[in-house]
């Protein structure tokens, strides 16, 4: 799967300029069409030697609008407090935009393997994370072009010597580059292994010989232009139609049939006592989570009028006001639609000791987007594994992921809808869309049933809350948060 490119015949200065001029015009025109169509994002990953010069030259040929270049060195404070791949999600280009990544997510496994800083299990786990990321992005329509520029040991030594000898260019030789040059053989072996393991059909590596600068630039530009052109040709033939799929009738049990006792309730006095008891415990745990560097993500899903907002309001009393954020998720904006659907949720991943509460969440992809036909069958079907991977990354960063599905009966929902219509200060809570969704009750239940079955994991299980009695539901929610947060705190490592 690794594409290798032999050295080109020697070119005169005039021939080189002529070829570059043609490639430059082609690449600029391809970019203009790409920006205009806005059908997909493009990620250009450049690794190896000469990546800075290659990126600088290519970007100088192109329209700077919608074009950004990134290099990731040591993690800054914000990055260290979140899952490692958080910083890559922050920089993802939108549809019609280009992101150029120098080394990107490959820098760490390359150097770790060369310096023998990680064992084989850790190394393979990291490569698996890379594979998952690139697969998610390409399946969502992104084009990923990966260029690796290799250079001989003698050429590397020659270039470093020339740069250091010239006072005007000495600054360009960093300590990191000098150290890597001293370990050329280890890095060469590490790079060869990395390229073989991470060259996928949907994101191949293209290895370019970098000893000759002219060959490097012509080959890099030609690969970039060819792949961008073929990608746009392919996209122009595809017309994605989002058509709601009628639910198949079957005998599967719905959530309301999952042995739920929706008649569970709490008397007023018992409710007040338990509410204060678990709030007090949750406050203690929130302080402990700060000390242990544990963050918390709470997810609230359920049918309309199930009581998500009421449960959240009773819950947040236990937290210090500056330690939590409530994020209400509505349909994506036009800007958010230009990114992978998980992008907007990565923006709200909390730092250590903080809590983010999602009133609706990424599960909209397999609920409303599935039922209403806003996502294709292929898109929502692959979302289950994408969501599980997202939540696993949170867990690996000492984050408690606590998820609630609040269930009420259809009769109870009707009762609450009517109460909202007849209460002036609650009228805003009910609209025509709520009534339309109610007509698809069975479809939403079937979608929720599958969602819970495929995304209730050991590290992020679903808790189904019997919600007909609001008092019972609110206490169960806070009690569950206490139990699961305590488990995360106990296994956390500072």
Give pLDDT, residue 79.
87
Q: Is the pTM of this model over 0.85?
A: yes
Helix (H) or strand (E) holding 38: none
CA–CA separation, 30 and 221 (whole Å) = 12
Which one, of 3, 17, 82, lies nearest residue 350 by Cα?
Answer: 82
Contact (Cβ atoms closer than 8 angstroms) between residue 425 and residue 485: no
Give pLDDT, residue 395.
96
What is residue 224's DSSP assignment? Answer: H
Give pLDDT, residue 250.
36
Radius of gyration, CA atoms only, the chain = 27
β 3-5/324-328 pair status: unpaired
Mean pLDDT, contiguous 10-residue spans, the chain (494 residues): 77 91 94 95 96 94 94 82 95 97 96 94 96 98 97 92 88 84 94 97 96 93 95 72 42 50 94 97 97 97 95 97 96 96 97 97 97 96 98 96 97 92 78 88 95 97 97 98 97 74
Helix (H) or strand (E) holding 5: strand 3-5
Which one, of 122, 98, 97, lies nearest residue 109 by Cα?
Answer: 122
Give pLDDT, residue 219.
94
Q: Is 243 exposed, middle or buried (0-12, 13-18, 19+ CB in 10 A)?
A: exposed
| Cα distances (Å, whole numbers) of residue 262 to 103, 130, 275, 308, 467 | 54, 44, 20, 16, 7
Helix (H) or strand (E) holding 176: helix 175-182
Give pLDDT, residue 242.
43
Give pLDDT, residue 255.
55
């Amino acid at each position: 799967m690794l594409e290798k490119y032999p050295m080109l015949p020697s070119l005169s200065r005039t021939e080189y300029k002529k070829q570059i001029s043609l490639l430059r015009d082609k690449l600029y025109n391809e970019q203009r069409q790409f920006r205009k169509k806005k059908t997909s994002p493009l990620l250009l990953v450049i690794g190896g030697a000469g990546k800075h010069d290659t990126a600088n030259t290519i970007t100088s040929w192109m329209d700077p609008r919608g074009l950004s270049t990134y290099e990731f060195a040591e993690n800054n404070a914000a990055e260290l407090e979140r899952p490692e791949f958080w910083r890559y999600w922050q920089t993802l280009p939108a549809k019609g935009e280009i992101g150029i990544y120098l080394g990107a997510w490959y820098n760490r496994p390359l150097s770790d393997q060369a310096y023998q800083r990680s064992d084989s299990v850790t190394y393979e786990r990291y490569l698996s994370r890379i594979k998952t990321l690139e697969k998610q992005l390409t399946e969502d329509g992104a084009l990923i072009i990966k260029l690796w520029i290799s250079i001989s040991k003698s050429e590397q030594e020659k270039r470093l010597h020339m740069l250091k000898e010239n006072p005007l260019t000495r600054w360009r030789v960093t300590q990191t580059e000098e150290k890597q040059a001293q370990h050329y053989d280890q890095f060469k072996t590490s790079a060869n292994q990395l390229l073989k393991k991470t060259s996928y059909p949907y994101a191949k590596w293209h290895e370019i010989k970098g000893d000759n600068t002219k060959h490097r630039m012509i080959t890099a530009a030609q690969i970039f232009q060819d792949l961008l052109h073929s990608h746009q040709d392919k996209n122009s033939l595809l017309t994605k139609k989002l058509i709601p799929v009628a639910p198949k009738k079957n005998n599967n049990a719905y959530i309301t049939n999952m042995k739920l006792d929706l008649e569970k309730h709490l008397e007023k006095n018992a409710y007040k006592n338990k509410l204060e008891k678990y709030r007090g415990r949750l406050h203690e745990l929130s302080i402990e989570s700060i000390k242990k560097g544990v963050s918390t993500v709470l997810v609230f899903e359920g049918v309309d009028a199930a009581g998500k907002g009421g449960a959240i309001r009773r819950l947040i009393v236990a937290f210090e006001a500056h330690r939590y954020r409530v994020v209400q998720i509505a349909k994506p904006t036009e800007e958010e639609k230009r990114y992978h659907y998980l992008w907007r949720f990565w923006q709200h991943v909390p730092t250590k000791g903080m809590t983010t509460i999602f009133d609706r969440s990424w599960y909209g992809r397999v609920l409303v987007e599935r039922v209403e036909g806003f996502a294709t069958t292929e898109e929502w079907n692959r979302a289950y594994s994408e969501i599980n991977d997202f939540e696993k990354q949170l867990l690996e960063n000492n984050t408690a992921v606590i998820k609630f599905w609040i269930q009420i009966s259809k009769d109870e929902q009707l009762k609450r809808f009517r109460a909202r219509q007849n209460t002036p200060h609650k009228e805003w809570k009910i609209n025509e869309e709520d009534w339309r969704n109610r007509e698809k009750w069975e479809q939403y239940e079937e979608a929720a049933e599958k969602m819970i079955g495929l995304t209730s994991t050991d590290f992020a299980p679903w808790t189904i809350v019997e919600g007909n009695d609001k008092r019972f539901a609110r206490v169960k929610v806070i009690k569950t948060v206490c139990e699961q947060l305590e488990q995360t705190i106990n296994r956390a490592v500072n």
